[in-house]
Amino acid sequence: MLLHFSKMHGLGNDFMVVDGINQPVYLNKAQIARLSHRNFGIGFDQLLLIEPPQHPAADFHFRIFNADGSEAGHCGNGARCVAKYVRQRGLSWKKELSLSTNTAMMQALLEDSGLITINMGAPRFEPEQIPLRYAQKSTNYGLEAAGIRYQVGALSMGNPHCVIKVDNLETFNVEKVGQAMSEHSYFPQQANVGFMQIVDREHIKLRVYERGVGETLACGTGACAAMVVSRLNQLTEKKVKVTLPGGNLWIEWHGQSNQDQNNVSMTGSAKWVYEGQIEL
């Protein structure tokens, strides 16, 4: 089978984007893992498969597969790339799109500036919704990883997220602690682990270890999760610039506690790299 695809990225979080509307696509976990290989395949953090809408309120549905072939529920950087893809490929001429994934429904606004704003929906704090093996909801949880006990924030933004505040991102061992915390027994579906450094009340720095991938240059849902955790701990304002290794995202959330159901919005870029085809 000859598969047509596009390579795109959001702040260096890179994707293989596949149109599953105009071509038949049948990919198994092993095939996706081979395609993700950066030496022997195309190379990507996630594969995005665009499909016809599965919900009456959605314009498109898309599925997210990690580099190891496992499936994720949500992807903020991926949502921006999908919105740009369907517009540039003429699949839709709308400036406002409704996109669904397996766990979320979101609105995408293609702004005249070229940036794309995504309504990411409301964070979920109940332990069973994250999921997190903890009896009661809390702002912070005590979890041990790599021999050290950390106070972490945990929530779902369509994917399970764990956020740890650190003093110095440059010297922190993101790979070691990130993998240990991601695979912690308290996270039955594993977790994306964000390491957050507060610069000031309107600016944070972030590095993210993503489950099934490792550290990436950017994680949109991770940026949302980190901003929400910073707000819960009264460390930042309602709108924050989040600086990731790949660039900046602007996250806005008007909630103040884990009782609030306010939606999170994310603004950032999406870039087209190239188009190609590969024989499977």
- Does the annotation count 81 as an active-site position? no
Query: Which pair of structure tokens corresponds to residue 115?
Result: 């940036």
Beta strands in the chain (DSSP E): 2-10, 13-19, 46-51, 60-66, 71-72, 96-100, 105-110, 116-119, 141-145, 148-156, 160-165, 192-200, 203-210, 214-216, 239-244, 247-252, 265-268, 271-279
Q: Which residue has the tokens 């009661």?
A: 136
Nearest to 264 by CA among 248, 240, 234, 233: 240
Which of 81, 162, 219, 224 is labelled catalytic?
Answer: 219
Nearest to 205 by CA among 256, 248, 253: 248
Which of 75, 81, 162, 224 is labelled catalytic?
Answer: 75
How far apart CA 39 and CA 42 sit, in angstroms, is 8
Q: Which residues are catalytic?
A: 75, 219
